[in-house]
Structure 1
Amino acid sequence: MAHLLGAEALHLEYPTKVVFDSVSLGVNEGDRIGIVGRNGDGKSSLLAMLAGRREPDGGRVTVRGGVRIGVLDQGDTLDDGDTIGGVVVGDAAEHEWAGDARVRDVIAGLLGDLPWDAPLGTLSGGQRRRVALARLLAGDWDVLALDEPTNHLDVEAIAWLADHLKRRWAANAGGLLVVTHDRWFLDEVCTVTWEVHDRIVESFEGGYAAYILQRVERDRQAAAIEARRQNLARKELAWLRRGAPARTSKPKFRIDAANQLIEDVPEIRDRVALQSLAVSRLGKDVVDLLDVSVAYDDRQVLRDVEWRIAPGERTGILGVNGAGKSTLLGLISGDVEPTAGRVKRGKTVKVATLTQRLDELEEHLDEPVRVVIGRLRTTYTFGSGSKAQELTPGQLLERMGFSSAQLSTPVRDLSGGQKRRLQLLLILLDQPNVLILDEPTNDLDTDILAAMEDLLDSWPGTLIVVSHDRYFLERVTDQQYAILPGPDGAGRLRHLPGGVDEYLRLRAGVRDREAAPRRGAAAPERASAAGGSGSGDAAPALAGAELRAAQKEVAALERRMSRLQEQIDGARAALADHDQSDYVGLAAEMQRISGMEAELGALEESWLALSESVEAAGG
């Protein structure tokens, strides 16, 4: 494979720290390289040196003649006065950029919901990030260097970006360098992983899953070196190996070696034991949302939400920005009152929310970390039964990546990731039994994310998570729900038996339905020429007896769904009265509930397809 760029004996240092010492590496045609490592170890600096944005203190970077390198920085460099169209395509005439299939794909994938002439000053941070990414991807580059490209993107946009990068070049063409903490994205896109640590860059074959396997092997050979990281990595590997088949079917993932490494690693969570402990702490009533709707002024945000949250439940919430996720969390926490329906809370419920604003730290900014933690509990118990652990606040801090030197650091001088970790520890030490995490992965590297997941594995309570980090969401929750728009535009809560993949399919269907009227309005002649049948994307036309039969089937499906939902709610409520020492019986009952939820999801799919046909026929 042809050489694109390389580095020879790179050296980089700050007054108090050597970041790289004699690092040599290369990027060839067809390389898709993910760069991982702890915050502060030099990932962004390495990317900047390779892209020509920063000069090393020693050594040199070589680039093959004619190679074009496109760079996405973490910072926002866009001018508020520019428009979206002006930033993405510049002064190019519409027929020029509209004739380029790649530009059309980028605009549709990232900017389809934004007004083309909107000034950038009117956009949110996430929207501006999409514009910056679209500007870069619309260009023609031999190498793309992306620094945290998934920041501020939702699950849909991240999935689109991964697909675009996989299709952008032929298999043995182009080069990709990406710094990201998004482990799903790394596994989906990258074929090589570079780990930046201890002044060096170590190369591993494959994406994140293969990297974890090889890192475990490396740590085993090193025996006592980085023992804590080894244990976390092995636990991470166990989840990857036992998880969705897509993760472990990578050609370079050596399954036999993985099985040998994890044969003595237990399941990441003892769900039955945690459920039992959660019931003892919470009772059978947690938070019930009963036919709840919320409206702000004339805008209906949520409608007819029915959700009985069970003790020990671990649920992820998906939805586009503005769908109503924050409103839903507010209903659970008590910060939002419904405009219709009611919210019922158990008497022992104690809700805590890890917000995106770091509010819990405001009063402690001038205090050292040691002082802040010293005021709290002297010990904290994780897990249950024989697996219970008594940890001091200092041990908790160490478990979350704080060094002894950082204990004397004032809170205001901590990095964003350190503040985020301290915020979580303060909340956990207050011992809530319902924990809401709102985008908890911001500013955290992959090792610290693994440590946070390890901490949550033994937390015995009800967990509600909103996150665009697909890996984290699937790792710490056992089920997912989505907020999807109904016919009136208001959000409805829907269970996702198929997880994130099902959500992406449903969202694709929503986008197609939203685009159908625009396509029809833009080409009325085409519809007429087709004999009035409309676009091929429309639902099949129904009339007469066929329409009446479909209407009856829709009503029947609704009744079956209602009965099944009642059975599920009753079975969940009965778990609280079940003998908590009967682990086998509890596990069987939970499996039965999962089966009913899967059946309900299949019924919902059938109902949605039939409803679209009935609506299309005017029924």
Structure 2
Amino acid sequence: MAHLLGAEALHLEYPTRVVFDSVTLGVEEGDRIGIVGRNGDGKSSLLGMLARRLEPDGGRVTVRGGTTIGVLAQADTLDDDETIGHAVVGDTPEHEWAGDARTRDVIGGLLGDLPWDARLGTLSGGQRRRVSLARLLRGDHDILALDEPTNHLDMEAITWLAGHLKRRWAANAGGLLVVTHDRWFLDEVCTRTWEVHDRIVEPFEGGYAAYILQRVERDRQAAATEARRQNLARKELAWLRRGAPARTAKPKFRIDAANALIADVPEIRNRVDLQSLAVSRLGKDVVDVLDVSVAYDEREVLHRVEWRLAPGERTGILGVNGAGKSTLLGLIDGAVQPTTGRVKRGKTVKVATLTQRLDELEEHLADPVRVVIGRLRATYTLGSGSKAQDLTPGQLLERLGFASAQLSTPVKDLSGGQKRRLQLLLVLLDQPNVLILDEPTNDLDTDMLAAMEDLLDSWPGTLIVVSHDRYFLERVTDQQYAILDRRLRHLPGGVDEYLRLRTAQDARPDVAPSTGESGPRAPGLSGADERAARKELGATQRRLERIAERVTGIHARMAAHDQSDFAGLARLQDELRAAEAETAGLEERWLELSEQLE
């Protein structure tokens, strides 16, 4: 592969610390490199030096002659008075940019739902991010350097971006450098991973999953090295007594060694224990949303939603921006009142919400972290049964990546990620039994996301998560629902099913499946056939909603069931499998009918 870019002996330092010391690396044609590491360790600085936007204090960056680099920075530099169209294509005549396949793909993938002549000042943060991406991606660059490209993007835009980057260049052409905490995106797009830590850049083969596997092996080897060092005297004595020098072999990465390390690791969550503890804390009744509709200024956001939350349920909520996710969360925590229908809450329910804002920290901004946690409860119980352990707030902060030196830092001086972790601590120490996480992954690096996930694995209660971070959503929840056409719909097929349904929905702009409303007649169908298809589509939709309610009920019965009654639990499990199988069949029929009516 041809060389595109190289860095030799890079050195970068700020007045208080050295960021990089003698870093040498290169980018070849066909490289798709994900850059990971803790917040503050220099990922964006590395990207800036490689893109020649930041001058190193030592060393040099060389770029092959004629190579062009396109950069997406985290900062929003768009002009509020400019229109979307002008920001993306400039003064290029329409017949030129409309005739370019890449430009059409980028505009369709990122901007299809936005008015071409809208002023940028009227857009949301996520919409402005899409405009910035579109402006960059329509260009013809040899290397793309993207700093947190998925920030503020919804799951569909992230999925489109991953697909675009995978097909943008031929397999052995172009180069990609991307800083992101989105682990699904890293696995989907990247073929190499650079970990930034301790003033160095350590390369790994493969995407995020392969990187984690190699990290486990690296840690295993480090532990083995330390054990050898500690036993050096004993081994020296043994060698001397044998009278012959020991032979050593060069250590090498072995996948089977890493696999052996995780062979006896149990399931990430003990669902039976957690559900049993949740029942003891919550009782059998949590929150029931019963035939609820919500309208704002005569515009209906949710239509006749039925949802019964079970003790210990872990559910992810999907939906486009504006679909009604925040409204649904508001129904759960009481911030939103239904227009029709009712919301019933159990007597022992205590709901807490980790919002996208940092409201919980407002009153603590001037206080050091140590003072804030000193006001809180003395212990926090993590886990259940024989594995339960009591942690102090300080120990909990350590689990969330705080160093002891940071305990003296005033809250206002913490980084965004540190504030986010402290906010989670304050919420957890209030001991809620229903926890709502609204975009909790903002400002967190991959290691801190893993630490948060580990903490939530032992949290015994009902968990509701809204997140555009697909990896996090699938990692911490056991099932997913989507808000589609103002209805709440169960997704047995998870995120993949949601994306498939959204694609089908976008292909039918004149059909509203939940209400049966229709526009022009579907091509190829007679009037009678179309009416029959629409009738069956509506019936299938209603049947799916009823089964979703039944599945929720089965989960609740399983949580409340005597956990020592294995035969009874097996019958409930069979009932659940049958309901999920029926759902899968109905989903297929729903998609067939939808395609007929396109």
Normalized against structure 1, the TM-score is what? Answer: 0.87
Gaps of 5+ in 1: 228-252, 486-490, 518-533
Q: Tell me the C-alpha RMSD between the 2 structures.
A: 2.3
The residue number in structure 2 matching 1:456 is 456
Cα distance in 2 for residues equivalent to 1:144 and 1:551: 46
Contact 2:314–2:463 (CA under 8 A) maintained in structure 1:
yes
Q: In structure 2, how many angstroms separate the alpha carbons of the residues matched to 1:52 and 1:172?
A: 24
**Cα shift at 1:134:** 0.2
Distance 1:257 1:602, change over 3 A: farther
Please give the alpha-carbon distance, in whole angstroms, between the structure 2 residues aligned to 1:553 and 1:610: 8
Amino acid paired to 2:106: V
Query: Do the aligned partners of 1:282 and 1:311 also contact (CA within 8 Å) in 2?
Result: yes
Rounded Cα–Cα distance in structure 2 between residues aligned with 1:605 and 1:60: 57
Q: How many residues get paired? A: 566
Alignment-derived partner of residue 379 in structure 1: 379
Whole-Å Cα distance in 2 between the matches of residues 280 and 226 of structure 1? 45
Alignment of 1:491-570 (within 5 A): 491-514=486-509, 538=522, 540-544=524-528, 546=529, 550=533, 553=536, 557=540, 560-561=543-544, 564-565=547-548, 567-570=550-553
- 2:149 is matched by which residue type in structure 1? P
Q: Secondary structure at the match of 1:7?
A: strand
8 A contact 2:275–2:559 mirrored in 1? no
Residue of structure 2 equivalent to 1:206: 206
For residues 504 and 554 of structure 1, the distance between their equivalents in structure 2, rounded to whole angstroms, comes to 19
Picking from 557, 562, 576, the partner of 1:574 is: 557
**Partner residue, 2:579:** 596
Residue 230 of structure 2 corresponds to which residue in structure 1? Answer: none
Distance 2:226 2:586 in 1: 50
Q: Matched residues in 2 for 1:559 and 1:110: separation?
A: 32
Alpha-carbon distance in 1 for matches of 2:457, 2:337: 31
1:135 Cα deviation after fit: 0.2
Q: What 5-or-longer segments of structure 2 have no aligned partner?
A: 228-252, 513-519
Note if contact 2:214-2:258 (Cα within 8 Å) is conserved in structure 1.
no
Q: Distance in 2 between matches of 1:226 and 1:388?
A: 30
Which residue number corresponds to residue 398 of structure 1?
398
Residue 565 of structure 1 deviates from its aligned partner by 4.7
Q: Retained in 2: the 8 A contact 1:8–1:23?
A: yes
Letter in 1 for 2:509: E
Q: Is the 8 A contact 1:219 1:225 kept in 2?
A: no
1:8·1:22 contact (CA, 8 Å) conserved in 2? Answer: yes
- Classify the secondary structure of the residue corresponding to 2:381: strand
SS at match of 1:291: strand
The one-letter amino acid paired with 1:314 is R
Aligned to 2:59: 59
Map 1:254-403 → 2, pairs under 5 A:
256-403=256-403
- Output the CA distance in 2 between the equivalents of 1:91 and 1:563: 54
Q: Which residue of 1 aligns with 2:243?
A: none
Is the CA contact (8 Å cut-off) linking 2:275 and 2:311 kept in structure 1? yes
Change (3 A) 1:341 1:608: farther
Contact kept? 2:162, 2:189, Cα under 8 Å: yes
Q: Quote the Cα distance in structure 2 between the aligned partners of 1:563 and 1:123.
A: 38
Q: CA shift at 1:217, angstroms?
A: 0.4
CA–CA separation in structure 2 for the residues paired with 1:559 and 1:460: 33
User: Aligned equivalents of 1:432 and 1:290: distance in 2?
Assistant: 23
Cα distance in 2 for residues equivalent to 1:97 and 1:548:
41
1:293, 1:14 → 2: CA distance? 55
How far 1:596 moved relative to its partner? 1.1
**Aligned partners of 1:539 and 1:612 also within 8 Å:** no
The C-alpha deviation readout for 1:453-484, integer Å capped at 9, x for no partner, is: 00000000000000000000000000000111
Shift of 1:593: 2.0
Residue 587 of structure 1, CA deviation: 6.3
Q: How far did residue 387 of structure 1 move? A: 1.4
Amino acid at match of 2:504: G
- In structure 2, C-alpha distance between the alignment counterparts of 1:493 and 1:571, rounded to whole Å: 18
CA deviation after TM superposition for structure 1 residue 377, in Å = 1.3
- 1-structure distance, mates of 2:574, 2:259: 25
**1:347-380 deviation per Cα after TM superposition (whole angstroms, max 9, x unaligned):** 0000000001110000011111111111111111
Residue 47 of structure 2: aligned partner: 47
* Partner residue, 1:488: none
Judged with a 3 Å threshold, the aligned counterparts in structure 2 of structure 1 residues 306 and 612 are, in CA distance, closer, same or farther, namely farther
Is the Cα–Cα contact under 8 Å of residues 29 and 172 in structure 1 kept in the other structure? yes
Query: What is the deviation of 1:600?
Result: 2.4
CA distance in 2, matches of 1:103, 1:555: 38
Take 1:549 and 1:26, find their aligned partners in 2: how far apart are those partners?
62
Please state how far the C-alpha of 1:576 moved relative to its aligned partner.
4.9
Structure 2 equivalent of residue 408 of structure 1:
408
The Cα of 1:602 is off from its aligned counterpart by 3.1
CA pair 258-582 structure 1, distance change in 2 beyond 3 A: farther
- Which stretch of the first structure deviates more once superposed, 458-467 or 553-562? 553-562
Output the CA distance in 1 between the equivalents of 2:225 and 2:472: 27
Task: Show the counterpart of 2:438.
Answer: 438
Letter in 2 for 1:504: L
* Letter paired with 1:541: L
Q: 1:320 to 1:550 in 2, by over 3 A?
A: closer
Label 1:379 to 1:216 Cα distance change in 2 as closer, same or farther (>3 A). Answer: same
CA distance, structure 1, for counterparts of residue 570 and residue 3 of structure 2: 55
Aligned residues of 1:496 and 1:503 also touching (Cα < 8 A): yes
Superposition pairs for residues 92-131 of structure 1, below 5 Å? 92-131=92-131
Aligned residues: percent identity?
81
Whether the aligned pair in 1 keeps the contact of 2:279 and 2:560 (CA below 8 Å) is no
- Rounded to whole Å, the distance in 2 between the matches of 1:42 and 1:559 is 52
Q: CA deviation at 1:95?
A: 0.7
Question: What CA distance in whole angstroms lies between the structure 2 residues aligned with 1:316 and 1:398?
Answer: 27
Change (3 A) 1:58 1:310: same
Normalising by the residue count of structure 2, what TM-score does the alignment of the two structures yield?
0.90
Question: How far does residue 562 in structure 1 lie from its aligned partner after superposition?
Answer: 6.3
- 2:498 counterpart letter in structure 1: Y
Distance 1:457 1:20, change over 3 A: same
Amino acid at match of 1:57: D
